[in-house]
Amino acid sequence: MPNSDAHNSVGLVSPCRARFEAAFQLLNGSVLAEHELVYETYGELNAAGDNAVLICHALSGTHHAAGFYAEDDQRPGWWDLAIGPGKPIDTRRLFVVCSNNLGGCDGSTGPNTLNPATGKPWGAKFPQPQVQDWVRSQKLLAEYLGISRWAAVIGGSLGGMQALQWAIDYPEWVEHCVALAAAPKLTAQNIAFNEIARHAILSDPDWCEGDYLSRDIVPTRGVALARMVGHLTYMSADGMSDRFGRELREGSFTPEAESEWVFQVESYLRHQGTRFSAQFDANTYVLMTRALDLFDLAVSDQGDLKAALDKARADFLVLSFSSDWRFPPHRSIEIRDALMAAGKPVTYANIETDNGHDGFLLPNQTYEALLTQWMRRVGPT
């Protein structure tokens, strides 16, 4: 835990586990006889229970949103930027909950946990969850924690979509909703990128039809390649030029030089891919990208986004990031316009940044100021 972070960090945290023994039926009809969700909380739930905030993670996110696991831990949770004492999501007055989605690979019931029916890892046999399933499972978690209403449900990317789904599935539960770098549904291009990622995994010889865990191998090459493609879509062209340019990490541009060339950007992507493949389950990656593909906020309203969002009772904050080409600003504007057409209170801004889709995870003065100021209306005053 770097000292510089100590003053406004939630500090040392540890994950908790909730076990649900009642059968849980997924949207696709499959039933989990029992399941577990792993989660973290920061801050204190007040007596009135009106200061609880739910953070929904993105595609490869986890329940570890803030703080450190050990004193010598160098990397905090994935959204430490926004969560902590004195930060936009201020843990001095808010009780923050973040859970690992069902089907995830960080402790919640998923492909890498044991199927009680067989005693072996679920693997590719784990049923396909959808965003609505995650929302419903998080509602069980909320009830387990003694929460009956969220002061806010907040998320970026897939997490933003999940936050929106919360707002329309359980309107009376969601007082405020924050959707960052989100979209009402995926485009053909979005699905295509997900398919490339899945194809990378499925064509790895170590994939073994998804049954690699019981053979004690991991399709790391496939997962690494999937992550490289995914990661590329999270960055902007300008951001990459600024950060890597055409710099070489190995080799030389001089004509007489005979060497292998490794550009900085190659080295970076390889590193991201390798690091990710060592910790992320291939089946989960396939399931999560599929859940993204299937997501459509207006699916039960014949594609009418206004009708879908009309059900919500929340105040909304919708933010897009100018250089995001995965879910570009106009996708957030679709959400914003549907909310306004439905007469919902909404604040919208397009944050000027070179950080691309990752903009919602990275420091930016306007972004942090807007989120901080808007969050002041969340929870007891």
Under the criterion CB under 8 A, does residue 349 sit at the interface with another protein? Answer: yes
Under the criterion CB under 8 A, does residue 310 sit at the interface with another protein? Answer: no
Under the criterion CB under 8 A, does residue 374 sit at the interface with another protein? Answer: yes
Q: Which of 315, 324, 354, 358 binds another protein (CB under 8 A)?
A: 315
* Annotated catalytic residue 157: yes
Q: How far is the CB of 346 from another protein (least distance, A)?
A: 6
330: which strand partners? none
Output 274 or 347, the one with its CB closest to another protein.
Answer: 347
* Per annotation, catalytic residue among 157, 277, 320, 332: 157
* Per annotation, catalytic residue among 80, 106, 324, 358: 324
Under the criterion CB under 8 A, does residue 380 sit at the interface with another protein? Answer: no
Helix (H) or strand (E) holding 155: strand 152-156
Contacts 24+ apart (CB under 8 A), 222-226: 222/277, 222/282, 223/273, 223/276, 223/277, 223/280, 223/282, 223/285, 224/270, 224/273, 224/274, 224/276, 224/277, 225/197, 225/200, 225/201, 225/273, 226/196, 226/197, 226/198, 226/200, 226/201, 226/285
328 to 347: interface string for another protein, x by CB under 8 A: -----x--xx--xx-x-xxx
Q: How far is the CB of 176 from another protein (least distance, A)?
A: 12
Q: How many CB atoms lie within 10 A of CB 66?
A: 26
Under the criterion CB under 8 A, does residue 93 sit at the interface with another protein? Answer: no
Q: How far is CA 99 from CA 18, 39, 220, in A?
A: 10, 4, 25
* Annotated catalytic residue 330: no
Q: How far is CA 239 from CA 92, 169, 230, 365, in A?
A: 34, 37, 16, 17
* Annotated catalytic residue 357: yes
Q: What residues numbered 219-238 form the site for another protein, per CB under 8 A?
A: none
Output 125 or 306, the one with its CB closest to another protein.
Answer: 306
Q: Please choose, out of 150-158, 222-230, 278-286, 348-356, the segment that lies near another protein by the rule CB under 8 A.
A: 348-356
- Gap between the Cα atoms of 298 and 304, Å rounded: 6
Contact footprint for another protein (CB under 8 A): 306, 315, 333, 336-337, 340-341, 343, 345-352, 366, 369-370, 373-374, 376-377
Could you give the residue numbers annotated as active site?
157, 324, 357
